[in-house]
């Protein structure tokens, strides 16, 4: 599952990624005008508009005896086993519990100021997010996130040297600032 997602994000199969990306953006953009329930209902109705006539066509072929194998057009999808084994379920639950526990620990650490620098970073991020929240709504951010997830890996691959030099410059500037703060704290 994860490898398929990575293949999509890195545009390894351009046609498949294009369909998924376009579908996601159009589906999310349609949610500006319609509720999520309406969008899901219309997507399911669209799927049924394709599958129902095809199923009736195969049934008609079967009745006319032109389809002697009596094959179902979607049998491969119906036969696909999407259930989880007990071991997979336990593993999934354990991973989820570990992620939640880590998130709670990290939030406690940031909110109760275990590290002053990390808490200051959180304050700046939250302060900037208040301005982002005034200008946009959550759905705009989700659409922007989808576009970034599908665009950034391709951009990074093409501009890798530039990204690495800028990151190195930024890291050095951050280390210099932290050194200055630590020196001032030691002197003062």
Question: What is the pTM (predicted TM-score) of this model?
Answer: 0.51
116 found inside a domain: yes
Within-domain flag for 119: yes
What is the distance between the alpha carbons of residues 9 and 184, in angstroms, rounded to a whole number?
45
Q: How far is the C-alpha of 44 from the C-alpha of 46, rounded, in Å? A: 5
Domain span holding position 105: 83-135
Determine, yes or no, domain membership for 32.
Answer: no
**Average pLDDT across the chain, whole number:** 86
In a domain, 106, yes or no: yes
Overall average pLDDT of the 39-56 stretch: 87
Paired tokens of 59: 């049934």
The label of the residue with tokens 């009736």 reads 56
Residue 168 has pLDDT above 90, yes or no: yes
Tell me, yes or no, whether 98 lies in a domain: yes
Q: Which pLDDT tens digit goes with each residue over 129-144?
A: 888 777 777 788 888 8
- State the residue for tokens 């953009």: 29
Q: Tell whether 16 is covered by a domain.
A: no
Note whether residue 90 is domain-resident. yes
Structural domains in the chain (count): 1
Helices (H), the chain: 2-9, 14-30, 36-63, 75-79, 86-111, 116-135, 138-158, 160-187
Give me the sign of the Cα torsion angle 33, 34, 40, 41: negative
Residue range 51-72: mean pLDDT, rounded:
83
Do the Cβ atoms of 54 and 73 come closer than 8 Å? Answer: yes
């Amino acid at each position: 599952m994860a490898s398929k997602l990575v293949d999509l994000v890195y545009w390894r199969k351009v046609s498949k990624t294009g369909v998924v990306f376009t579908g996601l953006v159009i589906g999310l953009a349609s949610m500006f005008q319609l509720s999520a329930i309406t969008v899901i209902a219309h997507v399911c109705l669209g799927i049924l508009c394709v599958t129902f006539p095809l199923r009736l066509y195969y049934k008609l072929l079967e009745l006319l005896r032109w389809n002697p194998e009596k094959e179902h057009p979607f049998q491969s999808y119906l036969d696909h086993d999407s259930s989880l084994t007990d071991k997979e379920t336990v593993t999934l639950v354990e991973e989820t519990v570990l992620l939640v526990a880590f998130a709670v620990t990290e939030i406690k650490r940031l909110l109760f100021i275990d590290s002053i620098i990390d808490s200051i970073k959180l304050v700046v991020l939250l302060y900037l997010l208040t301005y982002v929240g005034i200008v946009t709504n959550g759905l705009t951010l989700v659409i922007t996130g989808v576009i970034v997830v599908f665009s950034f890996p391709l951009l990074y691959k093409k501009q890798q040297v530039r990204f690495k030099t800028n990151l190195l410059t930024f890291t050095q500037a951050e280390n210099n600032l932290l050194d200055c703060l630590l020196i001032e704290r030691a002197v003062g």
